[in-house]
Amino acid sequence: MSDIYLSVVIPCYDEMANLQKGVLDKVVHFLERKHVPYEVIIADDGSKDGSTVFIEHFIKENPHVILIKNPHYGKAGAVTTGMLAAKGKYRLFTDMDQATPIEEMDKLLPYLESKEYDIAIGSRSTERKGAPAVRLFISRSAIVLRKYLIGIREITDTQCGFKLFTGTATEDIFGRYKKLKHGFGKIKGTAITFGSDIELLYLARKHGYKVKEVPIEWLHVETRRVNPVRDSIQGVLDLLRIKRNILMGKYK
């Protein structure tokens, strides 16, 4: 059995700007202070901006950091690859921009260590500091539509990219998700998949895992990859696809 206590999985797609801000240093310094065996897995999603070269240099001085080079599967594929490669008793996935600081893990971890929950997910306040008004409107509308179409009414924020799983829950849920996606396939362009977090949480509930939603600090970080109109349309299509999958029994 692995002696890794904490695994932190970070998807990476052309993240040079964030890498140069020292985000990996912050993650590693936080984990070093925990005084437990840990690993940081960077699941690259086919970056072309030199991100992997930067990470490879970082790894030379930080042996607990691991780089996985994937084809361009999209964020959901990168996260899934990283989570299934991880060995930790507890496994967190978080974003490279650290809109949710890594220190917020301290708010989630006690719920899993207590053995009362299998998954703890970060939940952003309805204010969502720094987010433009249009983004707030879209987010709130998506919550209403998701609750109506899919359910999972007990969870307010399914979309925060800061989620902690036990190793057992990870292997089961992400294993099922990978099979559902037929192992993922290469894509073109940017793919910020709205539906993946919802599907993971739906699978968790369907198979009896206990989920705790925990308020965390979050600050909006602007990115050129987000297009409110395009992403809203994709979000609705994802919800309709998930609803169809539910009706067809694909999540059993």
Domain CATH number, residue 66 = 3.90.550.10
Domain contains 242: no
What was the pLDDT predicted at 147?
77
Distance of CA 168 to the CA centre of its chain: 17
Kindly provide the b/e burial profile for residues 186-209, where b requires at least 16 CB atoms within 10 angstroms of the residue's own CB.
Answer: eeeebbbbbbbbbbbbbbbbeeeb
What was the pLDDT predicted at 229?
63
What was the pLDDT predicted at 222?
61
Domain contains 250: no
Domain contains 183: yes
Residue 59 belongs to what domain range? 6-125+157-220
Longest C-alpha distance within the chain, in Å?
50
What was the pLDDT predicted at 1?
40
Domain contains 135: no
What was the pLDDT predicted at 93?
98
What was the pLDDT predicted at 238?
83
What was the pLDDT predicted at 188?
65
Domain contains 240: no
Count of structural domains, the chain: 1
What was the pLDDT predicted at 218?
85
Domain contains 163: yes
Domain contains 54: yes
**Residues paired with 9 in a beta bridge:** 41, 93
Q: What is the pLDDT along the chain (252 residues), one digit of tens a residue?
A: 469 999 999 999 999 999 999 999 999 999 999 999 999 999 999 999 999 999 999 999 999 999 999 999 999 999 999 999 999 999 999 999 999 999 999 999 999 999 999 999 999 865 555 555 555 555 666 667 777 778 788 898 988 999 999 999 999 999 999 999 887 767 666 655 678 999 999 999 999 999 999 999 988 676 555 666 666 677 778 888 888 988 988 887
CA 99 vs CA 96, 103, 129, 151, 152: distances in Å: 8, 11, 10, 27, 24
What was the pLDDT predicted at 239?
84
What was the pLDDT predicted at 154?
87
Q: List, in sequence order, the alpha helices (H) in the chain.
A: 16-19, 23-34, 51-61, 75-85, 105-113, 133-149, 167-180, 195-206, 228-248
Domain contains 141: no
